[in-house]
């Protein structure tokens, strides 16, 4: 059994600003830092720090060796990561005075994962494996079809949400992890309960986790609806909070923990994450959650 994360690996360039830059405007950044990031990278780190032992499938450029070293140090299996001539993916992130972020992503090597690399990884999947996907790599549809053929559990975090998501074989998904804007785009609804009802009707075999920031999280599966409140904290930087939540929630569920305590653990981890700067650098370790409880 293993959690196999087909995911992006990025270099995050983070700029702290009083407010987000507007069209046609130039403003001074208050600070600049470089962090490890990418939704796939962050979720692998979160899975590992939550106690799981994930495998990561992805690609970096010659400037990305330090990112592989970091994954290996955290206990992530990196044998499925290849290096190519194209630069590693990167993100330009603005963080404002309230800790909210605005992100521009360039895919780079994340969009050049070869068919041979995907095929090799997918051929090793089995019914006991969980496949974790986000929308920052190429060939998502092919991976989903292969994972479904192998009987693996498919988890999709459709971020960034684009029209191409609707072209994926979404009926193969076992677990959706969505924020509110992603839920609205996927369901065509705006009110929380209507979003959940629409997704439940459209994808009846799937569980849906809908994160709502300081309003907590909703969970819906067959015969079960759960509401878990957010933990009150003062946000310093919300970058990586969703990935932290996803990693801890999936690690708990993979270990056999029931949904309600898994959601509470994930909310606690995300709350700690937003009190710190950066993405992967801000993800807490499981031991820190116990100290905070």
Residue 229 counted as domain residue: yes
Q: Which of 77, 129, 237, 243 is catalytic?
A: 243
Residue 33 counted as domain residue: no
Q: Please give the pLDDT value at position 75.
A: 97
Cα(57)–Cα(52) distance, integer angstroms? 16
**Domain tally, the chain:** 1
Cα(19)–Cα(96) distance, integer angstroms? 5
- For residue 217, give both structure tokens: 């999280």
Cα(234)–Cα(101) distance, integer angstroms? 15
Residue 31 counted as domain residue: no
Paired residues of 102 in beta bridges = 94
Residue 167 counted as domain residue: yes
pLDDT band at 90 (very low <50, low <70, confident <90, very high): very high
243 counts as catalytic: yes
Helices and strands, number each (H, E), in the chain: 9, 13
Residue 119 counted as domain residue: yes
For the cut 90, the answer to whether the pLDDT of residue 291 exceeds it is no
| Higher-confidence position of 239 and 88 | 88
Residue 287 counted as domain residue: yes
Residue 153 counted as domain residue: yes
Q: Tens digit of pLDDT for each residue in 30-52?
A: 999 998 999 999 999 999 999 99
Task: Name 180's Cβ contacts closer than 8 Å, sequence gap at least 6.
Answer: 192, 195, 210, 211, 212, 213
Q: Tens digit of pLDDT for each residue in 174-230?
A: 999 999 999 999 999 999 999 999 999 999 999 999 999 889 999 999 989 999 999
Which residues constitute the domain of residue 271?
3-8+39-86+110-292
Residue 22 counted as domain residue: no
CATH of the domain at 177: 3.40.1190.20
3-state secondary structure of 232: coil
Q: Please give the pLDDT value at position 281.
A: 86
């Amino acid at each position: 059994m293993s959690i196999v994360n087909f995911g992006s690996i990025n270099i995050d360039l983070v700029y702290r600003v009083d407010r987000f830059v507007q069209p046609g405007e130039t403003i001074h950044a208050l600070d600049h830092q470089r962090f490890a990031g990418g939704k796939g990278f962050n979720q692998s780190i979160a899975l590992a720090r939550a106690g799981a032992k994930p495998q990561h499938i992805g690609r970096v450029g010659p400037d990305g060796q330090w990112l592989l070293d970091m994954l290996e140090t955290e206990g992530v299996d990196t044998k499925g990561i290849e290096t190519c001539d194209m630069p590693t993916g990167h993100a330009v992130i603005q963080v404002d005075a309230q800790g909210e972020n605005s992100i521009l992503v360039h895919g780079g090597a994340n969009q050049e994962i070869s068919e041979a690399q995907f095929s090799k990884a997918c051929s090793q999947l089995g019914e006991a494996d969980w496949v974790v996907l986000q929308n920052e790599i190429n060939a998502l549809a092919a991976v989903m079809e292969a994972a479904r053929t192998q009987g693996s559990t498919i988890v999709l975090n459709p971020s960034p949400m684009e029209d191409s998501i609707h072209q994926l074989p979404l009926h193969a998904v076992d677990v959706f992890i969505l924020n509110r804007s992603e839920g609205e785009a996927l369901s065509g609804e705006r009110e929380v309960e209507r979003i959940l009802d629409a997704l439940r009707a459209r994808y009846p075999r799937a569980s849906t986790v809908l994160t709502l920031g300081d309003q907590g999280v909703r969970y819906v599966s067959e015969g079960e609806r759960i509401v878990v409140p957010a933990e009150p904290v003062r946000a310093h930087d919300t970058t990586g909070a969703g990935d932290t939540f996803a990693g801890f929630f999936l690690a708990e569920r993979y270990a056999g923990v029931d949904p309600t305590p898994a959601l509470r653990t994930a909310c606690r981890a995300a709350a700690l994450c937003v009190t710190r700067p950066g993405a992967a650098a801000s993800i807490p370790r499981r031991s820190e959650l116990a100290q905070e409880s």
